[in-house]
């Protein structure tokens, strides 16, 4: 079990059906076969089917483009990279079409969940020596960093290998500026704060991440700084801005939950639970039904990548971009009683 803890139940069942799981040298009859003490089980995994990223005519909101980089405003609901179960409609599909590039044969041996990939600057994002958009055989062509499916906002993509390598170096050196806007359940007591933990895979749910004590050796260290921009719904929610020191998977979502204020609409980390809706309603003019309506209309974690700043990998010029929150985020703010204009 220790050697297969990161393998899905479906993958193991498929391997059993294919006769690749042996019990005492014989193919397992079925997944429910009873084992006895001393039985020897050998499990070979069913190889994944080949994957291919096809160019698709998907509109892109491009904020900047030259021969080396593209900065896009990713809508919520769009997966960044092709992954098992997400072969179409991704940012990579759209970029291939935009750049007039052919279909790409991708490495399907990496069983990535599209919303639980590796973080910025990890070995997975830098291990492919030809991972520019123009010549790629790895899983995430040209993707220097990523945003979760439900997160909207700014993202930079490399068009050449030189750009890819130099942008990756900037993320690793933490010289890229990023600010994120969010709506939290409840309002943090301190108007400004810093969260430091390790972030690792949740041992109870492989599709989630979890906070662990900082420096514990479990997972990787992560640092986030937050500022309360405005209390909402009488303190039942808040507009909170985040500045990241690191870029771990689900970092803001995990850290928001860690401080007791999960992101509104984040069903993975408690932002849609009955207790969360009650907290939003408490002390405000909103009843629980109104709180539920705000969450349902949003339909995603309330998180938006607002600003992005980096040094151009070729010219050396400092580039900075800002993207106001989208309409669904604004509707949520208004539903929570924010009357002042916010973009």
User: Which residues are designated catalytic?
Assistant: 148
Tokens for 159?
């068009």
Tell the residue number behind the tokens 């669904």, with chain if given. 328
Q: Which residues contact 171 (CB under 8 A, 6 or more apart)?
A: 120, 121, 144, 145, 247
Tokens for 298?
């949003």
Tell the residue number behind the tokens 């921009």, with chain if given. 229
What is residue 208's DSSP assignment? Answer: -
Closest CA to 305 of 257, 232, 230, 251: 251
Closest CA to 313 of 180, 173, 178: 173
Tell the residue number behind the tokens 């010219």, with chain if given. 315
Tokens for 196?
């430091």
Please, are residues 264 and 190 in contact by the beta-carbon 8 Å criterion? Answer: no
């Amino acid at each position: 079990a220790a050697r297969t803890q990161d393998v899905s139940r479906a993958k193991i069942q498929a391997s059993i059906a294919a006769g690749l799981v042996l019990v005492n040298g014989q193919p397992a009859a079925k997944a429910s076969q009873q084992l006895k003490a001393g039985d020897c089980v050998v499990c070979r995994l069913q190889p994944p089917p080949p994957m291919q990223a096809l160019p698709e005519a998907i509109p892109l909101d491009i904020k900047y483009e030259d021969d080396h980089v593209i900065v896009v405003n990713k809508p919520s609901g769009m997966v960044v990279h092709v992954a098992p179960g997400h072969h179409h409609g991704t940012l990579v599909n759209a970029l291939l079409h935009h750049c007039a590039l052919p279909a790409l044969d991708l490495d399907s041996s990496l069983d990535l969940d599209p919303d639980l990939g590796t973080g910025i600057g990890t070995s997975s994002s830098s291990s492919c020596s030809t991972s520019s958009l123009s010549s790629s055989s790895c899983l995430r062509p040209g993707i220097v960093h990523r945003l979760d499916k439900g997160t909207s906002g700014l993202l930079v993509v490399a068009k050449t290998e030189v750009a890819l390598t130099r942008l990756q170096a900037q993320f690793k050196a933490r010289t890229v500026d990023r600010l994120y806007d969010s709506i939290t359940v409840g309002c943090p007591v301190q108007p400004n704060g810093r969260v430091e933990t390790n972030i690792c895979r949740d041992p109870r749910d492989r599709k989630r991440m979890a906070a662990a004590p900082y420096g514990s050796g479990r997972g990787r260290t992560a640092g986030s700084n937050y500022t309360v921009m405005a209390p909402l719904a009488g303190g039942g929610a808040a507009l909170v801005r985040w500045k990241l020191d690191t870029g771990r998977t689900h970092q803001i979502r995990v850290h928001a939950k860690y401080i007791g204020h999960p992101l509104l609409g984040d069903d993975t980390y408690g932002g849609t639970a009955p207790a969360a809706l009650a907290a939003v309603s408490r002390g405000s003019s909103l009843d629980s039904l109104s709180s539920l309506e705000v969450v349902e209309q949003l339909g995603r974690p309330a998180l938006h990548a607002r600003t992005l700043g980096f040094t151009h990998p070729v010219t050396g010029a400092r580039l900075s971009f800002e993207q106001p929150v989208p309409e669904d985020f604004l509707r949520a703010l208004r539903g929570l009683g924010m009357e002042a204009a916010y973009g």
